[in-house]
Amino acid sequence: MDILPTINLKAQYESLRPEVEAAIARVFARGNFVLGEETQAFEQEFADFCQVSHAIGVDSGTSALHLALRACGIGPGDEVISVAHTAVASIAAIEMSGARPILVDIDPQQMTLDPHQLEQALSPRSRAILPVHLYGCPANLTEIVAFARAHGLFVIEDCAQAHGATWQDQPVGGWGDLAAFSFYPTKNLGAYGDGGAIVTNNLALAEKTRLLRQYGWQERYISASKGFNSRLDELQAAILRVKLRHLPAWNKKRQQQAARYDSLLATSGLILPVQPAAASHVYHQYVIRHTARAALRDFLAQHGIQSQIHYPVPIHLQPAYHDLGYSPGSLPHSEQAAHQVLSLPLYPELSEEALQKVCQTLLDFLADN
């Protein structure tokens, strides 16, 4: 039986092979492998794509979040408000800065940070809000940014899954003080290895981030401040430049596929993704919800269809994060989402035939259960 995967990076590579090989050859021929011309050019192109003034290429999305927090001067004794229904990296990055993550519940429909939870999470130690645009759908940026401004907090957007998504027709990344992107290979814009970027419209924050990325060097070997090694390499930057040119078309394709899923599953009884009126969702994942998820997932697997769970355990219930002091029942919507979510195959190269097979298999399961 042919297996239908949830993502197919080999198919993507085949469609890009000559462009990628030329980009790689260019880097090898130049012999400059870290923070060179390709990184600089990519930073400009990615800043333009996000409609912001500055982009700083780094070695992962986690580093991007970490440096964004550090650039705001956030550290030990500070609190950063975020969500438990996310990739662990969002919260790991807060702890890397030395700050304490304060986790709030999600909106049960959107599955992103519920702005109504912010008031009760606030304390004199609060310094920032870190909303996550999960699955490619922007969190409610209007309300989050308004709350942050009213209380003197920074907003650091976790855009790791949302390259090109918009809120009120404005790309994510420019709403907060800073934003972090991941270019992990499976992302809507993915490198062939790790990579990430920070974007901002604030020159002072951009300059601080650039220093933090490379040992605090103002000039070579002279550290003006303390920093890290979080550099982007030239091969990844060159590959990202190739892929960035295709990203708008890929995102459009994802949106068309999501619309097909929406229409074929409209009467299925499954809970389907919700796109807020202000948002343009870029469907990094197409996530359905069902109470009998395990049986549904097994049934798909028996029919050769892969699916994924993003994410099976909310951060506050993970063994490593018991010390944050939460317990089962602390964040009920996050816990319910973790029990019900299922990501279906969705990637630009997915065929209409394969998509129909996924829907028919889901409908067959639901007819008998």
Ligand X SMILES: Cc1ncc(COP(=O)(O)O)c(C=O)c1O
Q: Which residues bind to ligand X, rule: CB under 6 A?
A: 60-62, 86-87, 89-90, 132, 158, 160-161, 182, 184, 194, 196
State which residue has the least CB distance to ligand X.
61
Give the shortest CB-184-to-ligand X separation in angstroms: 4
Checking 7-15 for CB contacts under 8 A at 24+ apart, the result is: 7/186, 7/345, 7/347, 8/347, 8/349, 8/350, 9/185, 9/186, 9/190, 11/347, 11/349, 12/347, 12/348, 12/349, 15/349
Helix extents (H) in the chain: 9-30, 37-50, 61-71, 88-97, 118-121, 141-150, 203-213, 234-264, 293-302, 332-340, 352-368
Give the shortest CB-209-to-ligand X separation in angstroms: 16
- Nearest residue (CB) to ligand X, 71 versus 160: 160
In 10 A of CB 278, how many CB atoms?
Answer: 14
Reply yes or no: is the peptide bond before residue 13 cis, omega within 30 of 0. Answer: no
Give the shortest CB-158-to-ligand X separation in angstroms: 5
φ/ψ (deg, to 5) at 203: -60, -45
- Nearest residue (CB) to ligand X, 86 versus 200: 86
Give the shortest CB-87-to-ligand X separation in angstroms: 4
Give the shortest CB-346-to-ligand X separation in angstroms: 15
- Nearest residue (CB) to ligand X, 196 versus 365: 196
Q: What's the one-letter identity of residue 245?
A: R
